[in-house]
């Protein structure tokens, strides 16, 4: 048994890490799409109703624990007849929570661009949308990038919670391995290392992207 343990660990972790990466990528995509769309809509339209709706969405999701929200989504919707697979629930749940975080990041990024720039752009004949897309968006995204990087790192860590709704990521696999082998210290210690590598890698990639954009 002890001879096979390293092999078992590597196998379980590799499969788990793959799922962790998938959930992270999926949730990040959902969160960025929601955040950017809503932030752009608030900057472009100025509609009071939209602002209020977004405020409610942000406040509701940022003041409730991720775990509670995941349970609500996974078990709650199932009781209404909408049975999500644990992977879908994980990606949608973390994505929705993330959207509430990224919308504020993008919005303050867009707002940090002086109004004069979009005024100048519209006065030389650009439509408001074109002014936003060509002038405000590229600069605003660059402003938002460091905070998005922090969010991405936090997201990698939050994916560990989806083990609680039975998505077979690292933590879930580790727990099963512990149930078979009882090597708690070794296995959970290695899990910690795997997460350190993953979060470190994400942070590195983000700062690389940041530097790349800065030099241009």
Partner 1 sequence: MFFQTIADNIADWGPRLLAGLRLTFSVTAGGFCLAFMLALLIEFLRTRRHAAVRFIARLYIASARGVPILVILYLLYFALPGAGITLSAVAAGTIGLAAVYAAYLAEVFRAGLHAVPAGQREAALSSGMSPLQAFRLVLLPQAVRHTIAPLLINLVSLLKDSSICALIAVPELTLVSRELMSESFLPLHVFALTALLYFGLAWPASLVARALEQRLHQQGQRDSGRGKRPVVEVAAVG
Q: Which residues bind partner 1 (CB under 8 A)?
A: 59-60, 62-69, 71-72, 75-80, 153, 157-161, 163-164, 171, 175, 178, 184-185, 188-189, 191-192, 195-196, 199-200
CA angle 40, 47, 117 (to 5 degrees): 50
Nearest to 38 by CA among 23, 28, 53: 53
Nearer of residues 6 and 189 to partner 1, judged by Cβ: 189
CB of 41 to partner 1, least distance (A): 21
- Pair 50, 41: CB distance under 8 Å: yes
E strand or H helix at 150: helix 137-158
Nearer of residues 8 and 126 to partner 1, judged by Cβ: 8
CB of 94 to partner 1, least distance (A): 13
CA distance 148 to 67: 21
Under DSSP, is residue 3 helix (H, G, I), strand (E, B) or coil?
Answer: coil
CA distance 199 to 156: 6
Nearer of residues 76 and 138 to partner 1, judged by Cβ: 76
CB of 55 to partner 1, least distance (A): 11
Nearer of residues 38 and 155 to partner 1, judged by Cβ: 155
Nearer of residues 120 and 196 to partner 1, judged by Cβ: 196
CB of 90 to partner 1, least distance (A): 14
CB of 182 to partner 1, least distance (A): 9
CA distances from 157 to 76, 81, 115 (A): 24, 30, 37
Nearer of residues 137 and 171 to partner 1, judged by Cβ: 171
Residues 6+ apart with CB under 8 A from 109: 39, 140, 141, 142, 143, 144, 147
CB of 203 to partner 1, least distance (A): 8
């Amino acid at each position: 048994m002890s001879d096979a343990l390293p092999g078992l660990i590597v196998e379980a972790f590799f499969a788990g890490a793959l799922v962790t990466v998938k959930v992270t990528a999926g949730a990040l995509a959902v969160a960025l799409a929601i955040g950017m769309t809503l932030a752009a809509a608030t900057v472009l339209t100025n509609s009071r109703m939209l602002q209020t709706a977004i405020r409610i969405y942000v406040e509701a999701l940022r003041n409730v624990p991720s775990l509670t929200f995941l349970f609500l989504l996974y078990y709650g919707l199932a009781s209404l007849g909408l049975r999500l697979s644990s992977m879908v629930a994980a990606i949608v749940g973390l994505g929705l929570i993330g959207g509430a975080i990224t919308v504020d990041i993008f919005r303050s990024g867009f707002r940090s661009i002086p109004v004069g720039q979009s005024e100048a752009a519209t006065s030389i004949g650009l439509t408001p949308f074109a002014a936003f897309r060509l002038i405000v968006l590229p600069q605003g995204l660059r402003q938002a990038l460091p905070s998005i990087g922090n969010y991405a790192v936090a997201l990698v860590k939050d994916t560990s919670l989806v083990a609680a709704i039975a998505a077979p990521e690292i933590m879930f696999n580790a727990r099963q391995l512990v149930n078979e082998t009882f090597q708690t210290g070794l296995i959970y210690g290695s899990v910690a290392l795997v997460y350190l590598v993953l979060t470190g890698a994400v942070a590195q990639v983000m700062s690389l992207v940041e530097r790349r954009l800065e030099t241009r």
